[in-house]
Amino acid sequence: RLFVEAPLAPGPLALSGPAAHYLVGVMRMRPGDPVKLFDDVTGEWLATASHVGRRDLTLDVAERLREREAVPDLWLLAAPLKKGRVDWMAEKACELGVARLVPVLTRRTVVDRPNTDRLRAHMVEAAEQCGRTALPQVAEPAKLAALLRDWPAERALFFADEQGGAPALEAMRARPGPAAVLIGPEGGFDDEEREAVRALPQAVGVSLGPRILRADTAAAAAVALWMAAAGD
């Protein structure tokens, strides 16, 4: 199962570069072998290899298997973490169904220039593996204050606060509709940031339980709870 950038349509599709390397070099595709493709626009298609070269191949895109999915309207706002942990977080966010990942820069954020191309690549791989037909967007990193200043009126902001808040599942069930979950860095938010978030009318402070979770665990838990509350 492979993501391709170009919008798919019935007919021949020539591939080279990393996609061809994956199909020819890694998956050892032969003429006649099937592959599922998706493009984030038209949905998922069944294709068959018609020509396989050493570094390129041509697929015959035949039948549309699924329309592009309707993506649950949840954004994950999370402070970037060290490489392995933020990669894991992006992968799990994609598998669990988020629409958008927003790296948030806070006072205690340790990585102030997250590699958004790498995060997107992890999400593409996760989408290929988990059967998504839509890719989450990866936003440019933004400062917490700027995000709060321009926060959309209709979008709830579930602020995961290890110092306490409403039980997350109940709070999320009580506030259906477009939403975001906000997860702090490993050192947490400072008091001023916590106050600024709480002052936002759309913010709801939520607890993920009595234990302090690592930020990547907290992100996966909060997204899973929102999906459960929304029935997605």
* Residue with smaller CB distance to ligand SAM, 54 or 211: 211
Work out the burial of residue 56: count CB atoms within 10 Å of its CB; fewer than 13 is exposed, 13-18 middle, 19 or more buried: middle
Task: Tokens for 152, please give them.
Answer: 């959309």
Distance of closest approach, residue 65 Cβ to ligand SAM, in angstroms: 38
Question: Beta partners for 46?
Answer: 36, 63
Nearest to 81 by CA among 49, 104, 50, 52: 104
* Residue with smaller CB distance to ligand SAM, 37 or 225: 225
* Residue with smaller CB distance to ligand SAM, 60 or 186: 186
Give the whole-angstrom CA distance, residue 193 versus residue 109: 12
Which residue type is seen at 198?
A: R
Residue 97 found at the interface with ligand SAM (CB under 6 A): no
User: Is there a contact between 99 and 223 (Cβ–Cβ < 8 Å)?
Assistant: no
Residue 73 found at the interface with ligand SAM (CB under 6 A): no
Task: Tokens for 144, please give them.
Answer: 């917490």
Distance of closest approach, residue 62 Cβ to ligand SAM, in angstroms: 46
* Residue with smaller CB distance to ligand SAM, 90 or 160: 160
* Residue with smaller CB distance to ligand SAM, 38 or 189: 189
The pattern of x and - marking residues 132 through 171 that bind ligand SAM according to CB under 6 A reads: ----------------------------xxx---------
Distance of closest approach, residue 27 Cβ to ligand SAM, in angstroms: 38
User: Is there a contact between 221 and 208 (Cβ–Cβ < 8 Å)?
Assistant: yes
End-to-end CA distance of the chain: 23
Dihedral of CA 140/70/37/22: which sign? positive
* Residue with smaller CB distance to ligand SAM, 80 or 188: 188
Residues 164-223, interacting with ligand SAM (CB under 6 A): 183-184, 186-189, 207-209, 211-215, 218
Q: Which residues bind ligand SAM (CB under 6 A)?
A: 160-162, 183-184, 186-189, 207-209, 211-215, 218
